[in-house]
Every structure is written in C-alpha cells, then in structure tokens.
Copies of this chain bind each other. A is one copy, B any other.
Amino acid sequence: MIGKSMYDNELRALLLELLVELTPKDYERKKVEEIVHLFTSRINDICRELKINAKAEVQGSIAKDTWISGDRDIDIFIVFPKGTPAHIVRTLGLEIAKKASGTNYVECYAEHPYVRAFVEDYAIDIVPCSEFDPKEGRPPTAVDRTPLHTRFVNEKLNERLRNEVRLLKGFMKGIGVYGAEVKVTGFSGYLCELLVIYYGSFLEVINNARYWKPFSTLIDLAKHYEDPKQALKIFKSPLVVIDPVDKKRNVAAALSLDKLSLFMLACNLFMSRPSKIFFKLEEHVIEEATEGDLRNYLDKSKTTILALATTLKSMPPDILWGQIRRSCNGIVRLLEQEGFKVLRWSVWSDDEKEVVFLIELESSKITPTIKHMGPPITSIEDVMSFLQKHVSSPQTVAGPYIEGDRLVVLTVRRASEATSFLKDNIHRAELSRDFAEALSERFDVALNEGVLSVCRGKVSSYRRFLKSFLRGSPHWLMNICA
C-alpha cells in the first residue's frame, strides 16, 4: 500500500494538480457533445432515409468518460442488428459513414473498413459494426467487441476511478507509450481502463508494474483461466491481459517489449521521484536539430548517421507503420550481413507517405577485406572446390590458410561504403511490396550533416525527431536522473 508519510501528501497534491490539467474543460466537453450530436443525428437520419435498421452510438473514451483534456478523437459506431451479414455491414456501413462525413474525410482500413472525418481539429472515426450476443461465440469482426468493452468498463468505473484512468493515460502519453497503433505499439485506452479496474488506482498500477516480469505477467480480471501458466502459453506476449469480454483475446497484444520496458522504467522512476515531468509530452518540449547539433554529436561520437528517405503512395498509418517496421528490419539486416555495424536505428514518417530511416553506424566505411571461413579439412570435395575458387582468384587477399581444422581465406568484399552499398543492393533487402516499389522510384541516401535536409515533408517534425534520436534518451528520463 502507498500513502502514509509527508511525502505522500506532496504526492497527493501533485496528482490533484495533474488531474485538474487532465480533466476535460467545460468548453471541450461542450464541443465534443456538439460534434457527437451532429454525427449521430446525421447517421440516424441517413439510416431512416435509406430504411436501414441501424443506429449511431458514441463509443470509446467519450462514451466511457475517460478521455483527457486535449484529446481530439471521437468514435462513433454504426450498429447494425444482430445477424446482419458481414458484407452488408461493410458496404452499406461504409456508404452511410461517407454520407455522414461531409466533404473532409479519409477512408481507412485497419482490421475493418471505416471512415475518418475531420471537423475543425477533431478526428471522428465512423465505424460500422454489428450487435452480437457474446454467449453465441466470438464477434464477427474485432470492432463488434467495442460496445461490449464500453458496457463492461462503464459497469466497473465510478467517478474516482475515471480520474485514476485519466492520470494513467496522462502518464502514458507523457512518457510516450500511449496508443496501440502500429506506430506506437503501446497501451490502448481500454488497456489503461482495465489496469485501473484491476489494481484500483493510478498509483497502484504504477507501483505494481515495476515488478511485472515480461512474458510471465498475466492479468485476468474475469478469471477466464484457472491456470495462469496455460494462458501465458497461449499468448506468449510481453504482457498478457485477458479481455474480460473475450477469453481468446489478449488486450495487450499490440504492446511491444520495448514499450513495456519503457513503461516499467518510468514507473520505477516515478515511484522514487514523482514529478510532473512524466506527464509532459516529448514533442512539446523538444527543439529541432540544427547543423551544429549534428556536428557536435558526430565530433563526439565519431559514428556515422545515415538517412534513407523515400515517398510512398499515401496509406493509413497502421498499414504504413507495419510496412516501415518490416522494411526497416530488412534494411538493417542487409547492412549487418555485409559487415556494417549498426549501433541503433529509428524511423520518422509524416504518418502518410514520407518516410526517413535513420541508422547510426559505427562507420560508413568498412574494411574491404573479409575473413571467409571455408570447409573443414575432412570434407575433401568441399576443400577441393574451395581451393579451386580462391587460390588464384583476384578477390583473394591472403590465404587460403588453416585455422584449427578449417580452411580460411581473406577476400575482398562486395562493398565497403554504406551509401553506395545501399544504392546498389537495396533490392536485396527484405522489403514490403509498397516499399520496394517506392524505393525503385525514389530514394535519397544522406550521411552525417546531409541527413538534416533529406526530408521533403514536414521538416520541422523531422528535425525534432532527429534531435531526439541524437540524444537517444527520453526527455523525462534525462530530466529526472540529471
């Protein structure tokens, strides 16, 4: 239990202060209500007109009243009656959503097609789904579960717990682990709510999370599983939180080990040094990188920063970031296989089509000579063909000689400079199809100071990312530990 000392009074004061900041202001609530009313009536009108038996329903954090000040996302579902065929929900649902959106919207496909409309600085996701009875099995699509989540959470939360959820969301946003999108691979809003319901308060979540063990912590509110080991075996995720409304679903499935670890680290630090710093979004405090910053960094590190920029066709962020992850892994592997030493890497995107891979290499140049291990001396045929290949080859630098029971040769590498290597060999990397296509049309490679100007899109956002990459450490961590 937490809360006995002087320190504790200060901590309470701090949380109270934070809560005031995190709670939606009256003008925000009013604005949200207006928008919700506008879209639900539009949808209901369209349904009536088209004589379709479906109705609009607000969902997500608005419906649960767990949103925090500054949130500009609204979820409105078009709920079709139980048993409506999935293809009807899809096509008809999407048609209604588009009609209701006005002129400013995009079509999105995550697990399910939906429409994102924009009104002033609000994004309204309009998502078709169908009612279903959980007793009759699993939902037809993932989004059909959402109304059940809303119901479950609303049954469990009271005014106090809603505030605890707001604190947790504010904390997670501040340290950069909030959001289950592919870009973030962090904690969803629903996951925050379940954690507060399970542990009872923001502080108890934070205090308990410090002792979580990645890949062996299980949270099972509805007690779907008698044996935790069984559930852990099924899900094999860094964190397993069984969905109370669907025992076959891990609510934390999208959470990566990196983000789980980052959260646990922040929890540890917060418990020893509580501070508002954890609640300040990185982007709000970080400045842009300048040429001087880069030069200072490179002078100290003597490493090479390499940027690879390209432009994809526009696509929804989740699809984009899935492709980014896969393609960037492929490029890093390609570099490493050739012998370049990758210290770390990261990716920036405008979330639409402009992408910059940032890779820090020990050096952009590697020795062109490589030690190539040949067959063991007992494989007579292999030995003979190895000798045939290497003894008189112009590629051979020294050898073949013997090390232990194997032949070895020093031979010339394909490439020894990262930029030209990437230009000539990028097609050999494992890339998503869209990336392969994009790279065949345009890609820029830049080194060191050159990386500042490689971005064609939102330059200011890119330069903030670059500054944050150079520093390497989250702002809150440096502030707390300095």
Contacts and interface: CB of A to CB of B under 8 A. Distances in A.
Interface of A: 210-214, 238, 257-258, 260-262, 264-265, 268-269, 272, 297, 300-303, 341, 343-344, 360, 362-363, 366-369, 371, 377-378, 380, 383-384, 387-388, 391-392, 397-410, 412, 416, 470-474, 477-478, 481-482
Contact of A391 (B300, B470, B478): B478
Contacts of A260: 405
Contact of A368 (B302, B341, B388, B400): B302
Contact of A402 (B210, B265, B343, B383): B265
A447 to B, nearest CB: 14
B210 A380 contact: yes
Contacts of A472: 397-401, 409-410
Contacts of A367: 301-303, 341, 362-363
B301 A410 contact: yes
Contacts of A264: 377-378
A300 B412 contact: yes
A474 to B, nearest CB: 8
A301 B369 contact: yes
A369 B401 contact: no
Q: Is the interface of A mostly helix, strand, loop or mixed?
A: mixed
Given A264-B378, A344-B410, A402-B262, A388 B481 contact: yes
A301 to B, nearest CB: 4
A369 B377 contact: no
A89 to B, nearest CB: 40
Contacts of A388: 481
A478 B392 CA distance: 8
Contacts of A258: 402-404
Given A301-B368, A303-B369, A473 B398 contact: yes
A367 B340 CA distance: 12
Contacts of A368: 301-302
A400 B343 contact: no
B399 A371 contact: no
B214 A391 contact: no
A398 B346 CA distance: 13
Contacts of A213: 378
Contacts of A300: 397, 412
